[in-house]
Structure 1
Amino acid sequence: MSSKIEQNYREAQELYAKHGIDTEEALKKLQTIKISMHCWQGDDVRGFLNRDQELTGGISVTGSYPGAARTPEELRADLEKAFSLIPGKHKVNLHAIYADTDEKVELDRIEPKHYEKWVSWAKEQGLGLDFNPTCFSHEKSSDGFTLSHADPEIRRFWIDHCKASRRVGAYFGEQLGQTCVTNVWVPDGYKDIPADRLAPRQRLKDALDEVFAEEIDPKFNLDAVESKLFGLGAEAYTVGSHEFYMGYGIRNNKLICLDAGHFHPTEVISNKLSALSLFADGILLHVSRPVRWDSDHVVVLDDELMDIGRELVRGDLLGKTHIGLDFFDASINRVAAWVIGTRNTIKALLRAMLEPAEALRKAELAGDYTTRLALSEEFKTYPFGAVWDYYCEQMGVPVRESWLDEVKAYEQEVLQKRGG
């Protein structure tokens, strides 16, 4: 280890210790937290089952940076490069369209065998896998409806797809010894004001009841449901609103997914965590960065990300919260996007662990809001970076921006040869 990094860490350790903060304990705890890194940043949400299908569901990926993965092998190679630059062992979040098979298979007929190569790779890499049914970019979702579709035959197709996805998720969990979270999100909604808001939600509820009817060991698979405020083509009404899924998840013991980009531009999910934790069995996070709408920008270390970290740490919610990422930017190097977003998410958690939470609580209970504010502000310039550098070096990954050199080299040697 670099003597300078070691020295900086020891000095920081002493400063934090004066406030009863054990940096070694924080780093040990940090190692146990797994971030579920989304595969779809690597190829602009195209997948491999229906690559020629137009991206739909209110989702849009902009940019034409060269080097998008074209095959499962290329995507796995890119993921490996990204993980080599991120401290800790984590998970990969797959959508159903990322099946690795030579067989022509429809979404309602997917089976664990279509993902065996992903499982073998995850075992080799020491990673876990999460899963999502893909209820978009398909001819049977072309009118914007899936599980709430008025046509029972189309609705049946998507019900069967989601049921099959849960079985795939259970296979992941059983094979890898890490519980898989299978998250259901559908884009259903209207562009303009609907005449009937209730009937689609009734159909969605009934469809979900059927999807989740099969009992699956929660040791292998946990179900999650995800809301959204609106999307392109569903600006006026989204069937699966926050209220719908919060009610459904609490009543049916499902994880409730909060996506940072799925709310009103002035809403934040950090403020929802403590309230939801009192009633939900568990929470799934999709950490993203909205810019004026659900644009899924690469996660930066902004105030909201910091607040998410604080809420999880101060409320002791890490044990019931599954942290995943959800962004896609085709205007920059896709591997770099993964590295930036994942490292930032881990940084936010570490920084929260290095704050004087107990002292702040005591000051608050005593009505000493002066001390609360003063400590909160002073700790913003405490040497968190020295602890982060030490952690990266300890975990065998590049310190500070030196990881960018490796990504640039990978771009020259691998990505640019793929073309646009």
Structure 2
Amino acid sequence: MINLEVSPEISLVDEPVKIQVCGLSPQQIITLRAWLKDERGNMFQSRAFYMSDKEGKVDLEHSPATGGDFHGVYPMGLFWSLKPSKPFLRLIKRDVMGSPFQVHLEVYCHVELNPCPGYPATVTKVLERWYVSPGVQRLQVREGRVRGALFIPAGEGPFPGVIDLFGGFGGLIEFRSSLLASRGFACLALAYFRFDDLPKSLDHVDLKYFEEAAHLLSSHPKVSRGGVGVVGVSKGADVALAMASYLPQVSATVCINGPIAVTNNTLSYGDLVQRGIPYQRERILITHSGAFNCTRILGDISKPEHQDSIIPLERARGPILFLVGENDQSCDSLFFANESLVRAEKYNKKDVYVRCYPGAGHLIEPPGSPFCPVSVSPLSQTPIMWGGELLAHCKAQEISWTEMQDFLRRNIPCSRRNKL
């Protein structure tokens, strides 16, 4: 009897899963397939071929995939390589509290090139992959000007506070915040445009808004005193860097694949005004698939006329960690990170760090997130290249997730409040 053994069957999406198939004939070729539907009904699926050992077993921790969507020993390869059935879709969990992604695992006792839903598999399992652990609270934030969602871990606390920023598409994206809360951080998923009554476009970044958010987070009774961390990706990374440089509440900052200058908008903080470097849209490269490669959209930021747009990271109170995908095809993030080191050395700031990941693209997300090299912009319906190579990128997601949490834990003060 053929058995498909999966452990655990219910888990957080950033946790590894052990998969074994037992009861096969020795040296039998099988197909393992994974598929799920997102909250809008879009299908994502992957497949890989395996040969059983002399005991009739396939163990993904030891057995190499011999074909399909990847080759080699990658225990999470079926999750990493989930691809949309329609082009240019990105898998994003929108309702992190309500339900998990249900991942269907199927075994076919032959090489199945194009398995479809409903095609009879030999054995199946359905896994639950959650973005929030039991006991985490989600609090809708609509206080003053601040809009977002605050995730508080289970337990008494206090917990290190983190503000979580996504990029230039706007809206409120919560999946990273809910996972960080599941790992012990009080995390504010902060919207800053294209959400609720916030501006519809990002012509102006007012740091007073982000300072208000930092005050709101740090004043929560379950958030530790002494400062908050900030995590930002893409456009959110240069906002995070500006927060680190100007706001005294920020004690640690993680910038994921973003520039080190104000770009395409004006930034202000009281009387301070920094005008952004305009995008040079004529520098966009259009691939054979019609997708946009925006790596060179800023041109040469070292020109004298652009120096006033560079964010003065040397003013930051705390350390800054740049996470860089070396195959980023949306932003020249490796160049910007290296420039940050040059500037830090110039001003004798010794706590700026760069972590590079060869083969990784722009969208470095929590582990278990499928590789997404290109997806459609919700603003223009134009496909945008993110870059990366499947196995290198997904390995970088595993490593960077741990490194980011370690960095935040080391550098965000975590002390209890004085009791009345």
In the superposition, the TM-score normalised over structure 1's length comes to 0.33
Higher helix share: 1
> Larger RCO: Structure 1 or Structure 2 (Cα < 8 Å, ≥ 6 residues apart)?
1
Structure with more of its chain in strand, by fraction: 2
Q: TM-score, normalised by structure 2?
A: 0.33
